[in-house]
Structure 1
C-alpha cells in the first residue's frame, strides 16, 4: 500500500519506482505529475473508469490539473486470486483508500448502466438482496415498465400493502421466521410504523436483517410535494441507523451498503432519501447486475464489535471493490484550511460542492461536509473529516423552520455537542460559531441549486448574525411558500433569509439544455392507470434522448390532479441534458426555465402558466391547428408572458398529420419529431435514423414520409409583441372592461353569476317565472345603490385603468375628400392621476358601435336593459389584502358595448365551440367542414373577409351558446396604444394623440374599419374616455445637448412632436439643447403635412436644425425618407458618430432595412468605417439605446 500526492511535474530521470508487493515495508511519497507504478507483468491498473495494461513492469499515465493535491492510493488486493489492482482518486488529502482483504475482494461483481430513478434503483437492490420486500404506496399507481421488470425478475417476494395502523406487522412476522426483509415506505406514514420500528430496533441483534427504505416527503397546503427529513426526528432514540442517499446513484449504492450493514451489524437500518426529487428523478445509474446482487446476498459475515459508525465505514470500505466508489460516513470537500464550512445531509450536497469549488476560485476558504450516516454520531470520525481552522459552521437542515421552534435539528444538536467536546482540537482556542440553516420541509420553495449554495456560503462568510436562516431561491418564491405554509408565517420573523437567484452561474447554461413537456392524462376515472398513455409518450422521448452516449440525461415525471377550471389531471416531464460528456457532479434541480417547452394540448395554456416555464428567448411548441397569431385565443396572461419573454411560438398539428398514415405506431412519433425540430439537438436525418431503429424495415418508407411531413409543418407564429404585452387576463377583463362610468364597480352581488345571465333571457325566451323567494337582479342593483355599505358597493377605477379624461379638442388634419382620415385629439387631465413622460403611450379603451350592439341583442333576443353580474378579479400588491367588489353589475348593452369584442374576428376554437352546440344537421356539417383539413381554404376566406363573432352567431342560430358560455367564449375588448404627441412640461393639463383611421376593403368587397379608430373618430368634445399610460422604447437622451435624429412616417410623427415640444420647453427655461434633425414622410404635402405649421415655425426658430420632408407622390418619381437620409451623409456621420447622437424611427416596418442601409452608407462613405464596422456601430448604438425603432 502506498500514497502519492499529485501536484507538479518531475523529470523522467528521477521518476520513482514504487514497489507494491505485499512484503514491502517502505512507503514513500513524491510530488509528481506523471505517474509510474511498478507491479507484476500483465496486471492491469484501473484508475476511475480507465484501465492501463502494464508492459515490462511499468505503466505511465498523466494526471490532469483538475486533480491537483488529490490523494492516489493503490492496493494490490489479492495477487494470488486476482490479477487486478485498483487505483482511485479521492477528493481530499486527509483520507487514504484502503480496501479490505475480505472475500468481497476475491469476487467479481459485474455492473451495468441503466436509466432509472432513485426509487427504482432501491427496489432493484432490495428485491435481489432480501427475501421479502414490502411496499407501502401512498396512492394506488400503475407500475412503470422498469418496476414491472424488477418485480418479475426479483429474487424476493414483493408484496404491496395498504397503509394503516400496525402496517409493519407483516415485516415483523417475516423477520420472526428468519427471513431478511426490506420495506419501502413514504415518510408521511412513519407515525403508523413507529411502535414496530422501535421494537425492531431493540430486537435487531436476534432477528433477521431488516432495512426500511424511506422516501422523505412533505405535502404543502397547495398540495405541492417537497422533501423533508423532519419525520425522522421521531427515530432519534430508537437505536436505528439513519443512512442517507443524495442522488439516484447513491440510492443504489447505499441501499447495498444498508443491506450489508444490516446483515453484518445486526442493526435496524433506515435508508432515507428525498422522495420528492431523488426518488423520482431518472438518470444513468451504474447498477449491479441481478447476479451480482444475489452473489452479494449469499455472502455472510460475523457480527462486528466496536463503534457502530466505524463498522458502517468498514462496510463502505469493504464494498469499494463492489461499488467502484469510496463512500464515507462524513465526506469533506473543500479547502484544507477552510474557515467557513457547511455540514449537510441530503440532495443539497452536490450543489454545495460545486458552489464551494467556485467560491474557492474566488479566494474564499470554504468547505462542505456531506453527512451520510445521520445517526448514530461519531465525534472522533467527524473530527477527522473537518479542517481545524474553522471559524463559522452551518448545520443545513432539511426541515421546516417551525420544527426548530420546538427542538434543535439533529445536525445542530450533534455539532454543538461536538465543538464543546475534547475531540475538537482547533488551531484557535475559540469554538466556531454554529448556525442553523433550513432548506426543506413544507416551507421548501425550490430545489437546492448552485446559486443557492453560493448564497449559503457567502452568508456564512460575511454575516455576523447567529440567527438561524431560511434558504430560498428568490423573494417571490419565499413569499409564495409563506402563503402555502401558514404555520410557518408566524415563525418567519425569527429567521434570516438567504436568496440564491442572483448568484446562479450564468455560464452553466451553455453546457446544459432543459426541456419541459406538458400533457393531459387521457385516463381520468382510474387513478391507478391515470397518465399511463402520457407516460409511454414521455418514456419513448427520453429513450431517444439517451441514444447519445456523450450526454447525460436527467428526467422527472410528475402527475398533478386537476383543479379549478382544469379538471383533468396533468403530467409533466422535466428533462435536463448535460453536454459535457458525462463528467462532473449533477445537481438535482427542477427545470424552471426551459429552452423548449412542449404542450400536447392547447387547452393546457388556458389553465396553467406554461409560458412562465420558458426561458427568455426560448421556444414554446404547441401541438395544435393554429396557423396565425389570430388563432391564439388563450388567456391574455399567457400572451403577456410570451411577449415579455420574447418567446418563439412554434405550432404543428400532429393530429391532422396522423390522419395521413394508417399505422398508429408511426403516427405516435409526431411529438418526438416536432420536439427534435424545435430543440435543434439533431437534424432530420439523425432523428429519422433514431426512429427507424425502433421500427421494422417494412415500415421505414412510411416513417420517412411522416417524419418529413411533421418536420416541414412545424411553423413559427408571428405575433405583435406590442399588442400581446398589453393584453388583459380573461377573468380580469370582465372586471377591467369598463362599462358606463355611472355603473363602474357597482356592488358585490350575492347571486351566482350563471343565474344572472340566465335571468336576462328568461322573461323573453322561456317564460320562466321567479320563485317567491328569489329577488330580481334589478332589485338587488337598487339595494346596492341605496345601501352601499351593507353591500360593500362602491364606484372606482378598475386596476388597469388609470383615470377618465375629457375630450377638449378633436380636429381632422387631412382634407375631408382625402382617402386617409388623420385626426388630432386633445384630452384634459386636470384633477386626474394621468402623468406621462416623453415617449410614453396612451392606452385607450374603445367601445363597440352602439347601433350594431342593439341590433345584435335583438337578434339574440336579449333585453339590452337587463342587468348582468360579472366576476371581478382584482390585482393586489404584496402584503395587501384583496380589495374591491368581487362582482360588477351592468346592463347587457354595456356588456356588449364596452366589454365583449363581439364584432372581433373569431379564432378556430370558437368554430369548434359552435360545432359542439349545434343541433341543426346542416349547420353541423358546415361547421365540421370548416374545421376539417379540406375546409382550410373556406376558413381562410372567412378570415380574410373579417367574419365576426356576431355574424357567426347569426349564421348558425342552432349553435348559439347560452349567455353564460358566450361570456367566456368571446374575448374582451383590448385597449389600443397610441404614442403620445405632446410634452407634459409644455402641456401640463392635457395629453394629445395623433391617429389615422384604420380601414380596408376585403377581397369580397366588404368595407371594414378598425374598432378603436372608429370609436375615436366619432368622439365628441366633452366625452369621457378611460385611459392608462404605458411605457415605450421611445426616450429622449438624458443629456439635452445630445443630438437627436428622428425619422417619422405618417402618424409616426406623434412621439417626435412630443420630443420637439420637450426641447422647446427646456430651451425656454434657459437650458442649452443639442441639434435636432427630423425626417418626415407622407404622400402629399398639401394633404398630409402633419403639424406642418408647427414644424416650419420650429425650424425658423432654430430649434429644429434640419427639417427634411419626403412627400412620395408630389413628383413623378417617388421620394422616401430613406432617400433624404442618404442625401445627408455628412450631417448624419457628424451627429451620430462624432457627437454620439441618438437615432429614432417610428412608423411602418417596410422602410427599416432601407433606412439602415442609408445609415451604413453614411458611416462608410463619410465616417471612415467599413461595412462590418458600420453594422457593428449600429448594433452598439442599439444596445446603448441610441438606435431605437418603434415600428408596426
Structure 2
C-alpha cells in the first residue's frame, strides 16, 4: 500500500532517501533530506513545507520495518510498555495499593511511582519545565485532584500524555466503568482519545505519544479500566527496540505545534502514518454498517464490539443500521464526522457511559458534540432525531451485550420521539438492582437487552470461569498464579485466541473474605471475541474452595451440559453438603460434577514448581481440550530435563484423580421428591408430561418410566421388587407409565442403507450409512452434525453379566431427570425400569476406560489380601508405571471387575462408579433439501493396537460398523459453524481429508438442487485428500459426475501414496495460487477445511503464498485471512 498522497507531496527540488542501515537500527540520521543545492542546509524546525512532506514520505518506508511481536498481556500493561519505551519520564499514580511494575530497567523512560494528593501532577509539570516530555498514569476516580495542573499543562504547548483507566465504584462497592470524570476536561484544551479493546489500548497509546510529540500538546488517552485495561489477550505489540526507534525519529521530526480545528486532522494523519506500524487503518470516527443506514448508533469505548455484532445481525434481517465508533472525543471535527456518517441517517442514538446521576445535571459530552454537528453547515439534510442512551454507572456491572445493542436499534425504529433519553440495561433484574444503589435517578424510558439476546456462543468458542478466595492483601494473585501459565499454553496455538480478565469483589458482612473470579473465553478458530461482555454461562466452572458454593450462587454460571470442577476431598455424593438450590440447578442443567483434591496431590511431590501445576492440569482435563500426553508435552517445556520424570508421574496422578461424582439427577432436581411407591389405594397418580426414557435399538422387553402420588426419599438407583414392577406393567394407567425418548435424544431413526466404501482388504474401513427420518422430529441444516448414541456389543455384555452372576433379564429402577419444556413447570420425579442387559448395553460405559477413582473403589471393597495388595500397589507411587501400562492397554471397567472378583462393588455402587455412554458426533453428509426423508453419515472405523499387541476398536464405530439395515438408532442433531454462503453466487473452496469429505458432499448436494431449480450458483472447488484413489476415493463417482455436469468447477484430488513422492492437498492449493487468489480476493469466496488438524498450518501457508503472489506482503495476507475468518469466510472444522 502506497503512502497517502494528499499531504506528502514535496517539491520537485527535494527528495528523501533512507539509509541502508535503517533496517537494523533507526535513528534520525537515517532520514537524509536532499535539497536542490549541495550548499543548502536546513536545521530541524526550520524546514519548509515541501521538505516536511518529503520527510513524512521517508517515515512511511522506515515505519514499515519496525518489528512487532505477539504477546499475551493486558491492555494496561501494553500501554505501560509503550509509554516506558517512548517517553522520557513516566509518572505512575496507583490507586491505593494497586500493584504497578515501575522498575523495569529495559524501559527507555525514567519510571517514578507517586502517591495521589491534592495538586497531583506537579512532578509532571516539573519534568515538562526542563524541556523533557512526560507521561502519567492516573485512575479516573482521582482525576479531580489533577485538574488544576492538567489545565495548565494543556495550555503550555508541552508534550505530555495522560493515560486514564476509567472506573466507577458503586455504593455497593462493585466496580464498573464510567467516562463522566473525563468530561471534566471539556474546556481544558486537551486532546481526548479513546480505546475500546486491549489491542486498541496498545495501538492508540502509540498514536497518542506520536501525536503529542508532533503537536506539542496534552493527549489524554482514556479507556475502560474495569475490564478492557485488565483483560489479558494475545496482542500484536511493537518490540522495545521498535518503540525506541519510533521515539528517536518522532522527537527529532520537523513538525511544528498546531492549534485550533486542525488538531483532529493531524491526529487522523498520525493514524494514517502509523498504518504500516500498527497494521490497521484507524479512523478518528469509524463507520460500520449499511451504506444507506437509517438508524445509527454513535458510541465510544468497550460497547462498540457488541454493537457491531448487533449491526451485522440486523443487517442479515434486512434492517438498514450502522454504528459510528468515536475514538477522538475532543477536539471534535465536523468535517471528519460528516465523512463517516451516512447521508441517509434518520435517527441517531448516542450511547453515554455515564451514570444517571451525572446525566440528570447535564447531557453527556458525546451527545453535545453530535447535536451541535447536526445543526452545523456540515449537515445539509434534515437533522435526524437524536436520542441519548445511558448504560454506565450502576448499569455497567455486566458489560454491554449484543442484545442490548439490538434493543437500542429496536427502540430507535419504534419508540416515540417525544422522549429523547433512555436507559439500556441487560435485564429487568439488573435494572431493579441498580435502582437500589442509585443516588440520583431521573425518570427515563428503560429498555432491556435480554429479549434480544442470541442463545449461546458459536461452536468454536469455549468459556471458562474460575472462583477463588483472595489471600489477605492479594487481589486475585492466587488465581493468576495458578492459571496464567494455562492461558499462555492455550495461546501457543496460532489458531486459538484466549481472552481473560480477573475480577474482584470486596468483603461484606455476608462474605467476610474478598473473592476473585477469572473469566476466560477461548476461540478455537482464532477469531478475536474479547471479553467486554461477562462470561455468564461457562463450559467449565472451577471452584477452588467448596465454601464458595455456600457464599455464591455459582451453579447459575454453569452452562447446560457444562462441567463444574470443585477442588475438594469429596469422595461420594454423601460428602456434598450443599444447598438444595445448588443441587437442583446442577441437575436441571445436566452438568458434569468433577472433583479433585489439589492439596492432597501437592503433598505427593517435593518439587514445589511441579506441585503448583496441579490446578492447571486438573482444569485442562475438565476442559477436554487435550489428552494427558499432550498436556504433559505442553508443560514439559517449562521444566528442566531432570524434572521430566517427576513431571510425567505427577501429571498422570492429577489426571487420574480428577473424578466424576455421579449424582441422582431426579432427587437433586426435585430435592423433596424421589422414589415413588403406592401405599394407599385411594391416592391418585400424578399426571405428567410425556416422559423421557431410554432409547434402544430394538423395542425393549421393559423400558418404562413410572410416577405416582406418594413420595419417599431415595438417593441411589435401586433394584425393583418383582411385584412392584409387575404392578407398573400390568396397570400402566394407574402408575402413569409413559413411552418416549430421553431429553438429550431428538428421535429414533431406522437404518435403510449401510455400504462399505473401501475394499474389504483395505486397512481403513470407511462406510456410508443412510437413515430414514420420515415421521420423526429430525430436521437438519447444511453443515450440522448428528449425535449417535451407540451401544456396547451384545455378546460382550452377556458374557460380562454372566461372569458377574447377574441375570440379564432381571430388572433395575433408575431415577430420571425430567426436563421441563420452555415456559412450563417441571413434572413430578420419575423412575425408569429396565433390564440389566439394557442397562449395560445401552446406558453404562462398562467397556470404557476407568479412572483412578474406580481403582480406589475396588481397593476399598476388596476382601482378598492378594487383590488388596495389587490394587494398593497400583495406587501408590511405586506402581505408577504399571498403572500407566494398564491405561495404554486400554483396560476397561469390565476387565478390572473380572480381574478382581473379591473387590466387586454391589450393583447399586456400580451405577454410581461407571459413567454413562456419551454420544459420538458425525458431520452430516447429505442435504435435507435433496434428501427430505433421510440423513447420511460418512464414518471411518477408529481402531488401534496397544503396546501389548491387543487390537482395539472404538465403541461407537464398532457398533455402527456392524449395524444392519432395519435396525434403530437413537440420534440428535447438533449445530455447527459449517454454513454455506448466504449468496448462492459466492464461490466455495472446500478442502477435505478422508471422512472430512462429509459436510462437503452436503454442500455440493445443496447447490446441485439449487442449480436444478434455475438458481445461479457460484464456482465450487473441492480439494480432496486420501491415500489411494483406487481404495479411498470417497464418493468418487458422484464427484466426477458433478464435475462433468459443470457443477463442481474444480475437482482437485491428492492421493498421497499413488506416486513415488507424496502429494497432499496443500501442495495442490499452492499450485492453484492464481485461481484461489481470484476466488477469495476478488469474488468473495468462502474457504472451508474439514479433517485432522495436521495440515491446517500448511494449508494456511499455501493461501498466504497465493495472496502474496497477488501483491500483498505476508502481514497483509495473514490479516486478510483473519478478516475472512471474522466474516465467516474461512472456516475450519478439525479434530
**TM-score, normalising length: structure 2:** 0.58
How far residue 275 of structure 1 moved from its aligned partner, in angstroms, is 0.4
How far residue 624 of structure 1 moved from its aligned partner, in angstroms, is 1.4
1:445–1:478 Cα contact (<8 Å) kept: no
Query: Which of 141, 163, 166 is the matching residue for 1:216?
Result: 166
2:295–2:412 Cα contact (<8 Å) kept: yes
Query: Which of 374, 377, 381 is the matching residue for 2:336?
Result: 381
1:113–1:286 Cα contact (<8 Å) kept: yes
2:288–2:324 Cα contact (<8 Å) kept: yes
Q: Which residue of 2 aligns with 1:251?
A: 201
How far residue 567 of structure 1 moved from its aligned partner, in angstroms, is 2.7
Q: Which residue of 1 aligns with 2:218?
A: 268
Q: Deviations over 1:741-775 (max 9, x none)?
A: xxxxxxxxxxxxxxxxxxxxxxxxxxxxxxxxxxx
2:808–2:835 Cα contact (<8 Å) kept: no
Q: Which residue of 1 aligns with 2:1034?
A: none
Query: Which of 555, 566, 584 is the matching residue for 1:622?
Result: 566
Corresponding position: 1:398 with 2:247? no
Corresponding position: 1:302 with 2:256? yes
CA change 1:999–1:230 in 2 (3 A) is closer
CA change 1:390–1:724 in 2 (3 A) is same
Counterpart Cα distance in 2 of 1:180 and 1:683: 53
Task: Please identify, of 463-472 and 250-259, the stretch whose mean Cα deviation from structure 2 is larger.
Answer: 463-472
Q: Which residue of 2 aligns with 1:838?
A: 687
CA change 1:369–1:1049 in 2 (3 A) is farther
Corresponding position: 1:655 with 2:588? no
2:75–2:231 Cα contact (<8 Å) kept: yes
State the SS of the aligned residue for 2:458: helix
CA change 1:652–1:382 in 2 (3 A) is same
Counterpart Cα distance in 1 of 2:591 and 2:713: 31
Q: Which residue of 2 aligns with 1:539?
A: 484
Q: Which residue of 2 aligns with 1:242?
A: 192
Q: Which residue of 2 aligns with 1:359?
A: 314
Counterpart Cα distance in 1 of 2:203 and 2:68: 11
State the SS of the aligned residue for 2:282: coil
1:377–1:414 Cα contact (<8 Å) kept: yes
CA change 1:121–1:826 in 2 (3 A) is same
1:350–1:587 Cα contact (<8 Å) kept: no
Q: Which residue of 1 aligns with 2:81?
A: 124
Corresponding position: 1:193 with 2:146? yes
How far residue 661 of structure 1 moved from its aligned partner, in angstroms, is 2.1
Task: Within 5 Å, give how 1:462-611 maps onto structure 2.
Answer: 462-465=414-417, 466-483=419-436, 485-487=437-439, 490-491=441-442, 493-500=443-450, 502-504=452-454, 506=456, 508-521=457-470, 523-524=471-472, 527=473, 529-581=474-526, 583=527, 586=530, 588-611=532-555
CA change 1:685–1:494 in 2 (3 A) is same
Corresponding position: 1:716 with 2:660? yes
How far residue 1178 of structure 1 moved from its aligned partner, in angstroms, is 9.0
CA change 1:821–1:247 in 2 (3 A) is closer
Structure 1: tracts of 5 or more residues without a match: 5-20, 26-42, 44-76, 82-97, 729-799, 801-819, 829-835, 842-977, 982-992, 1003-1046, 1062-1116, 1124-1142, 1159-1167, 1181-1192
1:127–1:154 Cα contact (<8 Å) kept: yes
Task: Within 5 Å, give how 1:66-77 maps onto structure 2.
Answer: none
Query: Which of 734, 749, 754 is the matching residue for 1:1057?
Result: 734
How far residue 200 of structure 1 moved from its aligned partner, in angstroms, is 1.8
How far residue 586 of structure 1 moved from its aligned partner, in angstroms, is 3.9
2:300–2:325 Cα contact (<8 Å) kept: yes
Query: Which of 830, 835, 839 is the matching residue for 1:1151?
Result: 835
Q: Which residue of 2 aligns with 1:1087?
A: none
Q: Which residue of 2 aligns with 1:13?
A: none
CA change 1:501–1:297 in 2 (3 A) is farther
Q: Deviations over 1:849-875 (max 9, x none)?
A: xxxxxxxxxxxxxxxxxxxxxxxxxxx
Q: Which residue of 1 aligns with 2:1051?
A: none
Task: Within 5 Å, give how 1:104-183 maps onto structure 2.
Answer: 105-107=61-63, 108-143=65-100, 147=101, 151-183=104-136
Counterpart Cα distance in 1 of 2:565 and 2:126: 54
Task: Within 5 Å, give how 1:621-700 maps onto structure 2.
Answer: 621-700=565-644
Counterpart Cα distance in 2 of 1:271 and 1:821: 70
Counterpart Cα distance in 1 of 2:680 and 2:201: 72
How far residue 104 of structure 1 moved from its aligned partner, in angstroms, is 5.0
State the SS of the aligned residue for 2:652: helix
**TM-score, normalising length: structure 1:** 0.55
Q: Which runs of 4+ in 1 moved over 6 A?
A: 1-4, 21-25, 77-81, 995-1000, 1051-1055, 1117-1123, 1155-1158, 1168-1174, 1177-1180
Task: Please identify, of 349-358 and 561-570, the stretch whose mean Cα deviation from structure 2 is larger.
Answer: 561-570
The higher relative CO (CA closer than 8 Å, separation ≥ 6) is in 2
Counterpart Cα distance in 2 of 1:708 and 1:347: 42
Counterpart Cα distance in 1 of 2:189 and 2:405: 32
Q: Deviations over 1:164-189 (max 9, x none)?
A: 21122222222222221111111111
Larger Cα Rg: Structure 1 or Structure 2?
A: 1
CA change 1:651–1:328 in 2 (3 A) is same
Counterpart Cα distance in 1 of 2:577 and 2:486: 29
CA change 1:189–1:1057 in 2 (3 A) is same
Q: Which residue of 1 aligns with 2:775?
A: none
How far residue 588 of structure 1 moved from its aligned partner, in angstroms, is 2.3
How far residue 339 of structure 1 moved from its aligned partner, in angstroms, is 1.0
1:980–1:1055 Cα contact (<8 Å) kept: no
Query: Which of 460, 463, 481 is the matching residue for 2:412?
Result: 460
Task: Within 5 Å, give how 1:780-859 maps onto structure 2.
Answer: 823-824=679-680, 838-839=687-688
Task: Please identify, of 361-370 and 539-548, the stretch whose mean Cα deviation from structure 2 is larger.
Answer: 539-548
State the SS of the aligned residue for 1:543: helix
Q: Which residue of 1 aligns with 2:1035?
A: none
State the SS of the aligned residue for 1:237: coil
How far residue 505 of structure 1 moved from its aligned partner, in angstroms, is 5.8
How far residue 595 of structure 1 moved from its aligned partner, in angstroms, is 0.4
Q: Deviations over 1:408-452 (max 9, x none)?
A: 1112111112112211023xxx32111111222233242122332
CA change 1:1154–1:227 in 2 (3 A) is same
Counterpart Cα distance in 2 of 1:252 and 1:617: 38
1:114–1:284 Cα contact (<8 Å) kept: yes
Q: Which residue of 2 aligns with 1:229?
A: 179
Corresponding position: 1:317 with 2:272? yes
CA change 1:255–1:1120 in 2 (3 A) is closer
1:126–1:255 Cα contact (<8 Å) kept: yes
CA change 1:997–1:410 in 2 (3 A) is closer
CA change 1:269–1:1172 in 2 (3 A) is farther
Counterpart Cα distance in 2 of 1:168 and 1:822: 80
Q: Which residue of 1 aligns with 2:398?
A: 446
Q: Deviations over 1:1029-1087 (max 9, x none)?
A: xxxxxxxxxxxxxxxxxx965579999427699xxxxxxxxxxxxxxxxxxxxxxxxxx
Q: Deviations over 1:787-832 (max 9, x none)?
A: xxxxxxxxxxxxx9xxxxxxxxxxxxxxxxxxx996317689xxxx
Structure 2: tracts of 5 or more residues without a match: 13-19, 21-30, 36-53, 691-704, 719-723, 739-805, 813-826, 843-933, 936-962, 974-1135
How far residue 1172 of structure 1 moved from its aligned partner, in angstroms, is 7.8
Query: Which of 242, 247, 256 is the matching residue for 1:292?
Result: 242
State the SS of the aligned residue for 2:387: strand
How far residue 564 of structure 1 moved from its aligned partner, in angstroms, is 3.3
